[in-house]
Amino acid sequence: MLELYDKNFNSHLLLGTAQYPSPKILEDAIRASRTEIVTVSLRRETAGGKQGGQFFSLIKSLGVSILPNTAGCYTVKEAVTTAKLARDLFKTPWIKLEVIGNADTLQPDIFALVEAARILNEDGFQVFPYTTDDLIVAEKLANVGCRVIMPWCAPIGSAKGPRDVDGLRTIRANFPELSLIVDAGIGRPSHAAKAMELGYDGVLLNTAVAKAGDPVLMAEAFADAVKAGQNAFKAGMLDPRDVAVPSTPVFGKAVF
């Protein structure tokens, strides 16, 4: 089970809802992914007018939980204000907290992120902070009350996959009690499987599915990859070796 604050889920895949070719493909991709949680941008909902209302109705009809985000925010004040508006609109204390520090890499401003997380946690939010793979930042987010932390594996939309496996592994090892979700930079199902093999609790992605040649088939592939990676971690994988080890026993072989 995936435990996120006071809720439990069967699926360990979280899916974004932006950039899909059509509402129908979005709906089919969500179903194929078997996800139970989707992220939604407040800016898209409020700026979409009638179309935004139709989008929200579609999401509600699928019976999934909504994780609003503060995408596009660059300051503490902007992120906190957006989070409060999202709480009123979507009727949830959940917020995926993004405070961007660089417009090109979309790398989080970690100083503003920690401060915004502190303010929102004190205001009763259940914060899902999008952060880097830095152990100290994760520690500070935990210290201000975050029970879920979402480190990137590469910049948003880059599709590069895990760039610092050791960094991700270190965060996992230091916070066994927290729910950790790898967020951003995943481009292939194998990337998602790798994240789960590191012992992460889930994977959040968007572009890799939305921009695929067949988003629905790709969503299904990611669902299978996340499950495979989780099972591999639970089963216990072999550590890499520097020498070959024969699979056939040496003892008992015939002597001529």
Q: Which residues have a Cβ under 8 Å from the Cβ of 244 and sit 6 or more positions away?
A: none
Do residues 201 and 180 touch, judged by C-beta distance below 8 A? yes
Asked if residue 124 belongs to a known ligand binding site, the reply is: no
Asked if residue 143 belongs to a known ligand binding site, the reply is: no
- Total Cβ atoms within 10 A of residue 147: 18
| In the block, residue with structure tokens 């210290």 | 143
Given 96, 160, 211, 234, the catalytic residue: 96
Report d(CA 154, CA 160) in Å as an integer.
6
Q: Look up 96 and say whether it is catalytic.
A: yes
Report d(CA 235, CA 217) in Å as an integer.
27
Asked if residue 86 belongs to a known ligand binding site, the reply is: no
Tokens of 256: 């001529």
Asked if residue 69 belongs to a known ligand binding site, the reply is: no
Asked if residue 206 belongs to a known ligand binding site, the reply is: yes
Binding residues for 1-deoxy-D-xylulose 5-phosphate: 157, 184-185, 206-207
Catalytic residues: 96
Binding residues: 157, 184-185, 206-207
